[in-house]
């Protein structure tokens, strides 16, 4: 929990007028600051945001293409979607005032403890699961951060909350020098966002900023497999004390929370004794990744000294949100899965492992739909899972030519221009027992506003084609 930091009479410059920039501007105006906002774009949503905040007294400049700001600025607040090498990123470099992220600005105004969750994949599911668990324990709690509700918005209601659970991205952590959650979890780290970072090590360094200022090792929750990385081990160790760990892989039996040979989630105490917690088969969660999300959420709840008498019933009443391995329909023995939130190769791999089966004849049961805008990532690691589980691939988006060149050597690939076309092909090709899996593994902005719109269009196309 941070101390309230007033912005009264300060000149605050906000870079970016998306969800984060709008919330930061409203919070700053609520604190009696003078607010100016720059954004390099101009579309309907930005114009709506501009109209809304101009009515509160902010000065807004859309289509900003200059690399400097001549107006007064005592503090700059940078939205997470602004890369350093953009026009707005160069504005930050030209300023003489401090620059912080929207996450940091919201944190400085929060009146309740914040629980942080980061990782390459699984952040949203874990945050939603944790909110579900805390609410079941009678706590007043909300989700914020990268999940769609900016922390600056949540800060304005924080006096009435027991906790805020923040989904935190690497972008948000780049300019967050004092951000200190009461407890935090690092779920996993896989190659991602290499269109923004020079090397994977820079991406990892940004992620590790989440736990920099947490001093108590029992409040640092980290995937056991990540401790094989020297940088992670150094960042998570406190005066000789190890962090709390979790894992669901066969090699994770040394983790604080893991799965034993009998299929029970167990807590491994400091003296090595294993205490059974619950049978994982009763969780009703698909895939190792979701089991690890559940273990991370359980560890975070326990780090807050909150105990559930029936964690199983709480977990079983939880439903994952839309676009995350979402079952859209089952018809004629074929399941249709919307995994639009898949935006990197590791997310595709998890989806393939979750839904893939090998038939008696050795063929796979998956029809994979993938593609979009690449973020500088390597899709060769997906090949072993494709060869094992996939019988047909349909491709869309900017990167479809490169994917076809890479994957068609192993599995037939068809390039398509629209989601409706892909769905028609997939329905015709699918046989009983198959799964049509929409797991793009790419950013969505080449064809869609975001992954939510992408998933919604896929869902609509499936229902329209199936007549349901």
Mind listing the pLDDT tens digit for each residue in 343-386?
999 999 999 999 999 988 888 999 999 999 999 899 999 999 99
For residue 284, pLDDT beyond 70? no
- Residue with the bigger pLDDT between 87 and 286: it is 87
Rounded to whole angstroms, the Cα distance separating 264 from 282 reads: 10
Neighbours of 248 (CB within 10 A): 23
pLDDT in tens, 111-148: 999 999 999 988 998 999 999 999 988 999 999 998 88
pLDDT of residue 6: 67
Neighbours of 261 (CB within 10 A): 7
Whether residue 347 contacts residue 416, with contact meaning beta carbons closer than 8 Å, is answered with: no
Angle between helices 451-466 and 419-429 (to 10 degrees): 50
Roughly how many angstroms between the first and final C-alpha of the chain, as a whole number? 48
β-pairing, 183-186 vs 114-118, is parallel
pTM of the model: 0.85
What torsion do the CA atoms of 75, 165, 146, 379 make, to the nearest 10 degrees? 130
SS (H, E, C) 323-339: CCCEEEEEECCEEEEEC
Q: Where are the beta strands (DSSP E) in 99-214?
A: 99-101, 114-118, 141-145, 163-167, 183-186
Tokens 């990744």 locate to 289
For residue 338, pLDDT beyond 70? yes
pLDDT of residue 324: 84
Rounded to whole angstroms, the Cα distance separating 255 from 403 reads: 37
For residue 74, pLDDT beyond 90? yes
One-character DSSP codes across 224-267: GGGGGSHHHHHHH-BTTBPPEEE--SGGGTTSSEEE-TTSEEEE
Find the mean pLDDT for residues 198-210.
Answer: 92
Using pLDDT thresholds of 50, 70 and 90, give the confidence band for residue 4. Answer: very low
**Rounded to the nearest 5°, which phi and psi values hold at 231?**
-65, -40
Q: Which has the closest alpha carbon to 226: 239, 213, 205, 245?
A: 245
Class of 11-97 in CATH: alpha beta
Where do the domains of the chain lie?
11-97, 105-316, 326-466
pLDDT in tens, 155-193: 999 999 999 999 999 999 999 999 999 999 999 998 778
Rounded to whole angstroms, the Cα distance separating 195 from 51 reads: 32
pLDDT of residue 59: 97
Q: Which has the closest alpha carbon to 180: 145, 209, 142, 146?
A: 209
pLDDT of residue 310: 64
pLDDT in tens, 210-249: 999 999 999 999 999 999 999 999 999 987 789 999 999 8
Find the mean pLDDT for residues 373-400.
Answer: 95
Weakest mean pLDDT among 81-85, 88-92, 193-197, 420-424: 193-197
Neighbours of 460 (CB within 10 A): 14
Angle between helices 287-303 and 345-355 (to 10 degrees): 110
Mean pLDDT of the chain: 92
Using pLDDT thresholds of 50, 70 and 90, give the confidence band for residue 3. Answer: very low
Using pLDDT thresholds of 50, 70 and 90, give the confidence band for residue 308. Answer: low
Residue 193 DSSP label: -
Q: What CATH number matches the domain at 326-466, 3.40.50.620, 3.40.50.920, 3.90.190.20, 3.40.50.300?
A: 3.90.190.20
pLDDT of residue 307: 67
Weakest mean pLDDT among 87-91, 289-293, 307-311, 418-422: 307-311
Q: What CATH number matches the domain at 105-316, 3.40.50.2300, 3.40.50.720, 3.40.1190.10, 1.10.10.10?
A: 3.40.1190.10
pLDDT of residue 85: 87
What torsion do the CA atoms of 374, 378, 380, 381 make, to the nearest 10 degrees? -110
**Rounded to the nearest 5°, which phi and psi values hold at 74?**
-95, -20
Using pLDDT thresholds of 50, 70 and 90, give the confidence band for residue 309. Answer: low
Using pLDDT thresholds of 50, 70 and 90, give the confidence band for residue 288. Answer: confident
What torsion do the CA atoms of 74, 79, 80, 84 make, to the nearest 10 degrees? -60
């Amino acid at each position: 929990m941070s101390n309230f930091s007033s912005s009264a009479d300060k000149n605050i410059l906000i870079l970016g007028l998306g969800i984060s920039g709008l919330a930061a501007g409203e919070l700053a105006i609520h604190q009696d600051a003078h607010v100016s906002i720059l954004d390099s774009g101009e579309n309907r949503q930005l114009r709506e945001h501009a109209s809304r905040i101009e009515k509160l007294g902010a000065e807004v400049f859309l289509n900003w293409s200059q690399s400097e700001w001549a107006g007064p600025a005592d503090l700059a607040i940078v939205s997470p979607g602004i890369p350093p090498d953009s026009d707005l990123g160069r504005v930050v470099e030209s300023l003489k005032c401090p620059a912080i992220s929207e996450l940091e600005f919201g944190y400085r105004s929060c009146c309740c403890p914040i629980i942080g969750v980061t990782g390459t994949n699984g952040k949203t599911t874990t945050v939603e699961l944790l909110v579900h668990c805390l609410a079941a324990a009678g706590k007043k709690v909300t989700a914020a951060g990268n999940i769609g509700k900016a922390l600056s918005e949540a800060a304005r209601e924080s006096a009435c909350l027991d906790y805020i659970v923040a989904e935190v991205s690497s972008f948000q952590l780049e300019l967050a020098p004092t951000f200190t959650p009461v407890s935090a979890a690092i779920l996993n780290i896989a190659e991602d966002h290499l269109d923004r970072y020079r090397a994977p090590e820079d991406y990892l360094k940004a992620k590790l900023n989440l736990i920099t200022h947490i001093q108590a090792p029992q409040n640092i929750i980290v995937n056991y497999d990540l401790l094989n990385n020297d940088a992670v081990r150094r960042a998570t160790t406190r005066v000789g004390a190890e962090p709390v760990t979790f894992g669901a892989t066969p090699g994770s039996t040394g983790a604080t929370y893991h799965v034993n040979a009998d299929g029970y989630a167990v807590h491994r105490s400091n003296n090595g004794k294993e205490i059974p917690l619950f049978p994982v088969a009763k969780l009703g969660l698909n895939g190792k990744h979701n089991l690890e999300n559940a273990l991370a959420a359980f560890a975070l709840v326990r780090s807050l000294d909150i105990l559930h008498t029936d964690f199983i019933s709480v977990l079983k009443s939880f439903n994952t949100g839309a676009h995350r391995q979402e079952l859209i329909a089952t018809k004629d023995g074929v399941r249709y899965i919307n995994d639009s939130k898949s935006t990197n190769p590791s997310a595709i791999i998890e989806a393939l492992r979750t839904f893939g089966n090998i038939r008696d004849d050795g063929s796979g049961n998956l029809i994979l739909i993938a593609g979009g805008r690449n973020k500088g990532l390597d899709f060769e690691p997906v090949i072993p899972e494709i060869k094992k589980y996939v019988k047909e691939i349909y491709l869309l988006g900017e990167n479809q030519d490169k994917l076809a060149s890479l994957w068609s050597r192993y599995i037939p690939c068809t390039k398509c221009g629209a989601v409706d076309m892909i769905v028609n092909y997939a329905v015709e090709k699918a046989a009983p027992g198959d799964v049509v899996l929409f797991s793009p593994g790419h950013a969505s902005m080449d064809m869609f506003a975001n992954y939510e719109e992408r998933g919604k269009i896929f869902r609509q196309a499936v229902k329209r084609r199936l007549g349901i």
